[in-house]
Structure 1
């Protein structure tokens, strides 16, 4: 359970910042360098490096080095834990609302 929470906490914490969400949105369209991401967000390279480190630690992105160029890409598998957490809660509330609907129809 602790690993589940640690991973989920890392993902939700990473998603809590708008610049990191902007980076993820960009990476959904393909790979990008740190310079690309800096230009997109208007944030300096040192700050982009910190955002990239946070997203990488959360398992949401990965990097590939080719010569001197490092490209970043999204890791869709990094969202699996969050998706499962949301699905569990959604299922619970769907069941609750269905039960309420049945109760109201029976009245």
Structure 2
């Protein structure tokens, strides 16, 4: 469980940055070279590579190098861990809201009966 929590923490850390979220979003459409991924950002390539490194260390993307070209691919199964966490949270809060609605209905019913 602690290992899962640490992995989830690193995924959320990686996704906390807008540049890294944009890279993940772009890779959702398919693999791309580092040059293609870096193009929309006004930063030097070494700075952009730090973002790529963080995404790789968290397992959200993988890259392979052929010659001088590095191509990145989204690792959807690792992104699914965050999706599962959000689904669990949604379910828990939906249940809590349903309980609150039931309580409010019963309290309103008691007011009418008085």
TM-score, with normalisation over the residues of structure 2?
0.84
* Unaligned ranges ≥5, structure 1: none
Distance in 1, matches of 2:58 and 2:2, equals 15
Shift of 1:104: 2.5
* Unaligned ranges ≥5, structure 2: 110-114
Which residue of the partner structure matches residue 86 of structure 1? 86
Which residue of the partner structure matches residue 53 of structure 2? 53
Where does 1:1-107 land on structure 2 (aligned, <5 Å)?
1-106=1-106, 107=109
Whether contact under 8 Å (1:22, 1:41) holds in the other structure is no
Shift of 1:74: 0.9
Distance in 1, matches of 2:15 and 2:68, equals 29
Distance in 2, matches of 1:73 and 1:82, equals 18
User: Runs of 4 or more off by more than 4 Å in structure 1?
Assistant: none
Distance in 2, matches of 1:28 and 1:41, equals 18
CA deviations over 1:15-42 (Å, ceiling 9, x no partner): 0111111111111122111111221222
**Pair member with larger Rg:** 2
TM-score, with normalisation over the residues of structure 1?
0.89
Paired positions, count: 107
